[in-house]
Structure 1
Amino acid sequence: MELATRSSAIQVILSEHRRLTSIVSGMLRVVDGMTSGSGPRSAMLMRAMLYYISEFPEQVHHPKEEQYLFARLRERSEQFDAVTGELARQHEDGRLRVHALERALRRYELAGADLLPALRDGVYGYADFYASHRHLEESVILPGAQRYLTVSDWVEIDEAFAANRDPFESLETEDNLNDLYRLIVQTMPEAQA
């Protein structure tokens, strides 16, 4: 993708999108594997993935997109008002979807395989939702930002996104989201070719 030439914030955003995409892909593989009775370990892995999403993309990434990138783009051009408004609504919808997935996972853990189809439907729905959301940001917002934002806009945005750090960085290693991300990726079942 040609976007990564103007700003270090764009590099950070694209990298964080790739991380979330890998987590969502892993969620699909895990929920599919649950049908074969992989049980508690898969449920724990799914819980870790949902925790990662709720703590990093939902608490750090999305608020910064809205506060810095979307706000500056709206200041520079009215052309993106509807899209940034829609993306902000999607950020809220994504948060609600993650909570719904957490509830569906708890119900599955408590009631068993009869509730697996609802969890699976929720995971697949979230994956479709996120893919569409990511596409809108990367195909409309990032190119628009490269076109309309000023050097001073980028200095502020780059600084804000450069500060994106794991919110648990100062805690013990076991609580570190980067470590959690690596653990999730290493533990995920392999994608079937």
Structure 2
Amino acid sequence: MSANAQNNAVNTMLNEHGKLSAIIHGMTHFARLIGQPGANVDLRVFRAMLFYISEYPEKVHHPKEDAFLFRLVRTRSPEINATLAALEEQHHAGEAMVRELEHALLRVEFAGQSAVPVFQQQVERYSQLYLQHMRMEEDIVFPTADKLLTPEDWIEIDAAFRVNVDPLDGHDAKSGFDKLYSTIVNITPAPYGLGPA
């Protein structure tokens, strides 16, 4: 049971990282396209991506990492405190960065090309921060957790991630956010999504 709990918890976190990574790569791709002459970029894609990031990773995934995975790893390995503190600070910074991206997108919609360079810079900054952030979790925190956490710890972490709740309406997050993710993938042009290039 505990081995299953560990596998389930790690697979859930990796799956959520994979979705966030795909969205971040798509955002970066679109931000670069906006500045190109004649590019036909549907800003609904950006809005859907920002909505997903602000509602799922920021309100569900990151708080669960802080409250369960990071807390339990910290109790078993004080040496990792500095890394965990940096990751928690990035979680908090991410919320502010998403708000900045939302405002920058509005400026692009209302001010046009003059607002594009700032938007592109903010997307690149967010992308670099969060791709590095996920690498730190996967390369440092996950292996440390694998070595040090007890079967009971993994059962607690798995239970927390298994009951993710959609912050929009209090229902199971999986169906609502899987549908949103699917929508994003379908309107994002190839090679980052399934939409027309």
TM-score in same-fold range (> 0.5): yes
CA distance in 1, matches of 2:8, 2:169: 21
Normalising by the residue count of structure 2, what TM-score does the alignment of the two structures yield? 0.87
8 Å CA contact retained: 1:25, 1:127: yes
Q: What is residue 135 of structure 1 aligned with on the other side? A: 135
Q: What is residue 9 of structure 1 aligned with on the other side? A: 9
Normalising by the residue count of structure 1, what TM-score does the alignment of the two structures yield? 0.88
8 Å CA contact retained: 1:73, 1:148: yes
Alignment of 1:114-129 (within 5 A): 114-129=114-129
Alignment of 1:6-85 (within 5 A): 6-36=6-36, 37-38=38-39, 42-85=42-85
CA distance in 1, matches of 2:134, 2:12: 14
Q: Which has the higher contact order (CA 8 A, sep 6+)?
A: 1
8 Å CA contact retained: 2:52, 2:181: yes
Gaps of 5+ in 1: none
Instruction: Spell out, residue by residue over 1:36-72, the C-alpha distance to the aligned partner (whole angstroms, 9 max, x if none).
Output: 4556x62221011001000000000000000000000
Gaps of 5+ in 2: 193-197
Q: What is residue 179 of structure 1 aligned with on the other side? A: 179
Q: What is residue 163 of structure 2 aligned with on the other side? A: 163
Q: Which runs of 4+ in 1 moved over 3 A?
A: 36-39, 165-171
Percent identity of paired positions between Structure 1 and Structure 2: 38
Cα deviation, residue 110, structure 1 = 1.0
- Equivalent pairs, count: 185
Give RMSD over aligned pairs.
Answer: 2.1
Counterpart of 1:107, as a letter, is: R
Q: What is residue 149 of structure 1 aligned with on the other side? A: 149
